[in-house]
Structure 1
Amino acid sequence: MRTPPRFLPALHRLLALGCLLFSIATHASAPDSGELRLHDQAGRMQSLASLDTDVEYHVSGLVAEVQVRQQFRNTGKHWLEGDYLLPLPAGAAVHSMALDIGERRIVADIKARDAARKVFEQARAGGRKAALIEADSGNLFRTAVTNVAPGEAVTIVLHYWQRVDYRSGEFSLRFPLTFTPRYHMQTGARPDDTGIATPRLFADDGAAAPLRTHIAVWLDAGVPLADVGSPSHAIVSERQGDSWSIHLRDDSVLPDRDFVLRWSPQPQTQPNVASFSQDIDGAHYAMLMLLPPQQQTQRLPRELILVIDTSGSMGGESIRQARAALDLALSRLQPGDRFNVVEFNSILDPWRAQAVAATPEAVQQARAWVSQLQAEGGTEMEPALRFALSGHAPSGYVRQVLFATDGAVDNPNGLMQLIDQRLGDSRLFPVGIGSAPNAQFLQAAARHGRGSETLITDTGTLTASMLQLLAKLDHPALHDLHVDWPAGSEAYPRELPDLYLGEPLLVTAKLPQRVAKVQVHGKLTDREWTAPMDLSTPAAAAGLDRLWAQSRIADLEDQLARGGDAKELAAEITRTALAAHLVSRYTSLVAADTTPARSAAAALKHAQVPNVMPSGTHFAGILAAGDARFAQTATPAELELWLALLALLLAALAWRMQRAAR
């Protein structure tokens, strides 16, 4: 029998009280950033391991080479092994790793994942120092190190290449310092055995930052710059000739949000065409950037479907940003448009059963409905995507789906299949919300949805970012794009996306021979469109071979998500990754010392260094939603007992109230 409505507020207050007390208790004893604490038998907390991170960027045009140094320090009394989940930018091509022990450096080999794990396990059992880097899920990588002596520090140094983003006249790069906890979807996800079984630990966002997280950027944009800045962190920038030196203002920052750097060229040097090349081992690689025509065509009426994620991971500042973004989108609807709004968490809750005309009354009602939405529950995206993509716009309308979310899902293959199957004439535009959104998922959803992603990590940029997105959607896309590469070329992405105002076409290709020119073809609303690309004097750029290989791996994984032959595609991903020396879901980097350091008699303890909860995320809200596993060892033993007793008391009170209501 259901509890009568008059008792629901009391039950809600009891549950809220339990969550609040748990949150306060856990917050009071949460580990500091980059520090793992375990309990001894008396319940006292002991710090066992800590981590410093240094990130160094070298940016040349549209390509960046990045070095990440992670120093693990064993501050305990026992031999230790530790691991840490490292988020990297979407599309990062991780190609080298070394283990530094004092003055010695051990360079890692690339191996199939199982073979790399076997090398690591053998080194662990033999008392030898070793380090392992393997893909976890999406843009998460697991770094592990073993046999670190008491008082000793070892350093893992990894390198990767990434592509610089350019859109609407601005360059940018992003380095994630933490990640939003992933929700284990009940629907819409295909099982995947490539993730790491280790629970993911989080410190809350109130933790202090005693450790140094340092980021430095050496920037050679290739054009004179009008502005360099960061919306996420305080920076110090200094011009040095044609280049710039940039670093964080503070030596110690809490790693609770993505680091974002942006730079704008002077107006007279805004690029509309750029090409880069690399010749290596007899192969020819090229990368093209081309902006579509900057035309102001007549605005077409639209059917706009606004989807908002109200799961627990969207609590705090994220849900406020999402509500504001949707309110702005609603306010810009014009007479003749159609729209609907959809909320989802553990359940689907559309505002209307189908899209309605954008009358002033309907828009006002929808804005009021959005303003009262709160974050709670899980992140069940499959029903929301299915509903949003199920409609069809009337003739003459463009159908656009804006999907505001932090992307906190752990296994999106089923969602990509759903987008492929049901996209039809819709276009999907994910809007990433929060201080550390899942950019890998958002980019994949935009690629499958033939739209583009927008990441909003700072409240100060929300209005500008949304206005830029909405203005872009006012203009018809350049669609049916293709490049007439020479026969035998392999270019990615294989299926070129639709482009909107201010968005460039970016393609990476492996060519059988050098060519002087290629043609790019597409369709505007009212006519065919063609543009020549001159490749006779492209700028030289290192790393294109690995960026191309990473793009090929992404294409193969898209085929996996679409239900392709798993065995055949896994073998091809493995071959591509091994040839390019890249970490993938099937390949890992492993470095192992040859000399034993720990005797067989000495015990080895395991420690996982927690990531910091993203800024603005509600600690208790995510815990209640089941979006993450937190460091259960962060709560003293006596307090855990009291919390357990409180939970039993609350359950008993709820049972008594239900009995009384019958």
Structure 2
Amino acid sequence: LSLAAIEVQSMRVDCKVASRFAHTVMTTKALNTANASQEVFFEVDLPKTAFITNFSMLIEGRIYVSEVKEKEQARQQYESAVSSGLTAGLVKASGRNMETFSVSVNIAPQSRITFTLTYEELLQRRLGSYEIMIGVRPKQLVQNFEIVVDIYEPNGIAFVDVNGTFITNELLPLVKKTVTDKKAHVYFSPTLDQQKTCSDCEETLVDGDLFIRYDVNHPQDIGEIQIINGYFVHFFAPDDLPQMPKNVVFVIDRSGSMEGEKMKQTREALMTILSELHEDDYFGLVTFDDTIEPWRPFLSKATPENVTEAKEFVKTIEARHMTDINKGLLFAVDMLTTEKSHSFPDMSMIILLTDGRPSSGQRDLSKIQENVQNAINGSMSLFCLGFGYDVDYSLLDTLAKQNDGLARRVYEASDAALQLQGFYDEVATPLLLEVNLNYPGNAVIDLTQSHFRQFFKGSEIVVAGRLQELETNTFQTEVSKFGIRLMVSTKEILVSERGKQAKFSWTNNKTLEGLKNSVKFLIILHKIWKMHQYHQDYLGFYTLDSHLFSSNVHGLLGQFYHGVNFEVSDLFPGKDPDKQDANMFVKGNELTVTRGWKRDFRQDVKNGEEVPCWFIHNNGTGLLDGVHTDYIVSGLFKTI
């Protein structure tokens, strides 16, 4: 290909994003200035999570439209077409986050050709933002060059940042960005002179990737639901929840192939990651080659003293012999299960870092997958990091997916340590465990995944489905955490989890696992003498640690969990000669309240403790926000 003979006359990238879904059209026009036919190569870098929906070529007034195929089928047909001298294009991996689409075609002398490529992508939220990545590498100066990005988010845009690998100080002022409440516009169109690397040069500065990162305003209750043409999508990203402590074991490959720069970068990353552990976390370090060497054979709390000792151990890790992934993972699982007690967090994870494939111990890949899955048995998540290109990435990907985690490739480069730290940052802050998004069974069909083992700060859960009735504009949604539901009545106690249900009477003595380190309640069955004229057993509901509730809690009880400012006057005789009243000044209201006593059973479950209190009349009018009927719902776990 002669760059002098093929002149790129224009290049335009038009990206439109609506509700996290990006639709990008790249149009390139080229002219063969030579007096002979020339082979033109058209190459475009695409995000790995994008998919091509259309590719066409306009040659001498005639449009040629491609047929998009599944990858493996496309590869076979591509090889067959090329060997037959036909025009075909293929997508291949080209780097960390990109894939390259390439096609070549012969064009006649002095002829023009227009390439139009369309690809789409559902943007994923990571570390608190969505990222639009546009690869632009024209390889020459372009007379008319444009990048246009328009973003529309119904819930409002929180921020927009623009940068690029090729954006120099000279090009930076040319990036035009405007942001309003729900819309953002980014425009970049350098002239020929502005594209040049120097005033007398013919090389272009425009050679790299443009990044646009943004976030939206996320509702902090059940999330955002959008309904269009009988389909719905539910975005759930509550970032204001308190961080959950976690148990984490780092399983580090120290086989011979990790020698040199890989091991140095691994140690460097671990030093930073250990510094970022929360003091309520518990952690462990397991190194393996064909033998296992843990820092300690048990979990340790992330106190400053323990973290310092762990760092000293990390400094001693050296590459040695073969690779026994099976043994390393099973040792970590055993550490997390046998050492577990009520003082440990609910959230457990293993982070595996390896650069190779099994070469010692169990080498059968399917057997390794079976062993690990049986050992974990749904009790923790496994995250796998594959270092370099020799790693068996398909093994790691399967291991992670089978055990509620994900796999990532770490590329051998000077920033490998930063890649490791970046991945850890994504999973470092769990906010929820066992999240279920529930929808009315008679209203929703064709539902995507709606149960998620964990939710991490800065990420987002997305569920989509089809509605039974096309005219539906709204429907009820429930979000339940921990996956455990208690239904308590004066007759019995029902415990349900993921469709399974158990029934207990008040005489049973049972312990429910899985609710430790969360908000605690005390429910007491108060039995009334059967001969009493107003005989009716009732339930007492007592909150033991209301300070752990979010400040957004605002139910009938929740509105008082963070305190209410009030003043009370001196006592005076009330309507009941045996009780005294007072004036209470609260929320701008003056209420007549009555002095009384109630039993508090939080400390003494059997007898209770007499505590003074104020009785509010007229169904709490003047004290409650709104009126008491505002807090009546159709069911215990309903919101309306």
- TM-score, normalised to structure 1's length? 0.49
Matched with 1:510 is: 466
SS in 2 for 1:330: helix
Read off the aligned partner of 1:498 and give its amino acid letter. Answer: Q
CA deviations 1:256-292 (Å, max 9, x no partner) are 7x7542224479x87962222343xxxx322111235
Matched with 1:331 is: 275
Residue 60 of structure 1 deviates from its aligned partner by 1.2
- Decide whether the 8 Å contact of 1:87 with 1:177 is kept in 2: yes
In 2, the alpha carbon distance for the partners of 1:316 and 1:245 equals 46
In 2, the alpha carbon distance for the partners of 1:349 and 1:145 equals 49
CA distance change for structure 1 residues 348 and 49 in 2, over 3 Å: closer, same or farther? farther
Matched with 2:186 is: 246
SS in 1 for 2:429: helix
- Decide whether the 8 Å contact of 1:479 with 1:524 is kept in 2: yes
- Decide whether the 8 Å contact of 1:238 with 1:244 is kept in 2: yes
Matched with 2:362 is: none
In 2, the alpha carbon distance for the partners of 1:381 and 1:343 equals 10
Read off the aligned partner of 1:173 and give its amino acid letter. Answer: E
SS in 2 for 1:222: coil
- Decide whether the 8 Å contact of 1:402 with 1:431 is kept in 2: no
Read off the aligned partner of 1:227 and give its amino acid letter. Answer: F
1:291 has 2:247 as partner: no
Deviates more, 1:99-108 or 1:307-316: 307-316
In 1, the alpha carbon distance for the partners of 2:2 and 2:293 equals 43
CA distance change for structure 1 residues 508 and 225 in 2, over 3 Å: closer, same or farther? closer
1:403 has 2:346 as partner: no
Residue 522 of structure 1 deviates from its aligned partner by 2.4
Read off the aligned partner of 2:433 and give its amino acid letter. Answer: A
Read off the aligned partner of 2:177 and give its amino acid letter. Answer: E
Equivalent of 1:89 in 44, 48, 51: 48
Matched with 1:352 is: 295
Matched with 2:619 is: none
CA deviations 1:112-154 (Å, max 9, x no partner) are 77876787677656655x2334577998766443442588885
CA distance change for structure 1 residues 81 and 403 in 2, over 3 Å: closer, same or farther? farther
Matched with 2:122 is: 163
SS in 2 for 1:477: strand
- RMSD (Å) for aligned C-alpha atoms: 6.1
Residue 160 of structure 1 deviates from its aligned partner by 2.6
Matched with 1:131 is: 88
Read off the aligned partner of 2:213 and give its amino acid letter. Answer: R
- Decide whether the 8 Å contact of 1:428 with 1:445 is kept in 2: yes
1:218 has 2:150 as partner: yes
Matched with 1:370 is: 314
CA distance change for structure 1 residues 384 and 102 in 2, over 3 Å: closer, same or farther? farther
Q: Which one has the bigger strand percentage?
A: 2
Equivalent of 1:61 in 19, 27, 40: 19
CA deviations 1:536-575 (Å, max 9, x no partner) are xxxxxxxxxxxxxxxxxxxxxxxxxxxxxxxxxxxxxxxx
Read off the aligned partner of 1:57 and give its amino acid letter. Answer: C
- Decide whether the 8 Å contact of 1:482 with 1:496 is kept in 2: no
CA deviations 1:350-381 (Å, max 9, x no partner) are 54374443465553243134357689999997
Q: Which one has the bigger helix percentage?
A: 1
CA deviations 1:194-249 (Å, max 9, x no partner) are xxxxxxxxxxxxx9976789754222233444431146544624216553222569
1:472 has 2:422 as partner: no
In 2, the alpha carbon distance for the partners of 1:476 and 1:408 equals 33
SS in 2 for 1:392: helix
- Decide whether the 8 Å contact of 1:447 with 1:497 is kept in 2: no
CA distance change for structure 1 residues 208 and 102 in 2, over 3 Å: closer, same or farther? closer
- Decide whether the 8 Å contact of 1:322 with 1:404 is kept in 2: no
Matched with 2:160 is: 228
- Decide whether the 8 Å contact of 2:437 with 2:479 is kept in 1: yes
CA deviations 1:383-422 (Å, max 9, x no partner) are 765554454331333453363769999xxx9697776555
In 2, the alpha carbon distance for the partners of 1:98 and 1:141 equals 19
In 2, the alpha carbon distance for the partners of 1:406 and 1:67 equals 39
In 1, the alpha carbon distance for the partners of 2:258 and 2:206 equals 20
CA distance change for structure 1 residues 135 and 336 in 2, over 3 Å: closer, same or farther? closer
- Decide whether the 8 Å contact of 1:303 with 1:355 is kept in 2: no
In 2, the alpha carbon distance for the partners of 1:429 and 1:319 equals 19
- TM-score, normalised to structure 2's length? 0.51
SS in 1 for 2:469: coil
Residue 93 of structure 1 deviates from its aligned partner by 3.6
1:496 has 2:446 as partner: no
In 1, the alpha carbon distance for the partners of 2:417 and 2:176 equals 21
Residue 59 of structure 1 deviates from its aligned partner by 0.9
In 2, the alpha carbon distance for the partners of 1:259 and 1:379 equals 39
Q: Which runs of 5+ in 1 are unaligned?
A: 1-34, 38-45, 179-206, 530-662
In 2, the alpha carbon distance for the partners of 1:58 and 1:440 equals 34
In 2, the alpha carbon distance for the partners of 1:313 and 1:73 equals 49
Alignment of 1:361-440 (within 5 A): 362-371=306-315, 388-389=332-333, 391-393=335-337, 394-396=340-342, 397=344, 398=346, 400-401=348-349, 403=351, 420-424=373-377, 425-429=379-383
CA deviations 1:584-634 (Å, max 9, x no partner) are xxxxxxxxxxxxxxxxxxxxxxxxxxxxxxxxxxxxxxxxxxxxxxxxxxx
Equivalent of 1:519 in 467, 470, 477: 477
Q: Which runs of 5+ in 2 are unaligned?
A: 196-203, 358-364, 488-640
Deviates more, 1:107-116 or 1:374-383: 374-383
In 1, the alpha carbon distance for the partners of 2:262 and 2:146 equals 26
CA distance change for structure 1 residues 503 and 124 in 2, over 3 Å: closer, same or farther? closer
Equivalent of 2:247 in 303, 319, 343: 303
Matched with 2:133 is: 175
CA distance change for structure 1 residues 135 and 286 in 2, over 3 Å: closer, same or farther? farther
CA deviations 1:41-75 (Å, max 9, x no partner) are xxxxx999999986532111222112345789999
In 2, the alpha carbon distance for the partners of 1:71 and 1:312 equals 51
CA distance change for structure 1 residues 285 and 261 in 2, over 3 Å: closer, same or farther? same
Read off the aligned partner of 1:171 and give its amino acid letter. Answer: S
Read off the aligned partner of 1:245 and give its amino acid letter. Answer: H
Percentage identity across paired residues of the two chains: 19
In 1, the alpha carbon distance for the partners of 2:334 and 2:10 equals 48
- Decide whether the 8 Å contact of 1:273 with 1:290 is kept in 2: yes
Residue 507 of structure 1 deviates from its aligned partner by 0.7
Read off the aligned partner of 1:217 and give its amino acid letter. Answer: V
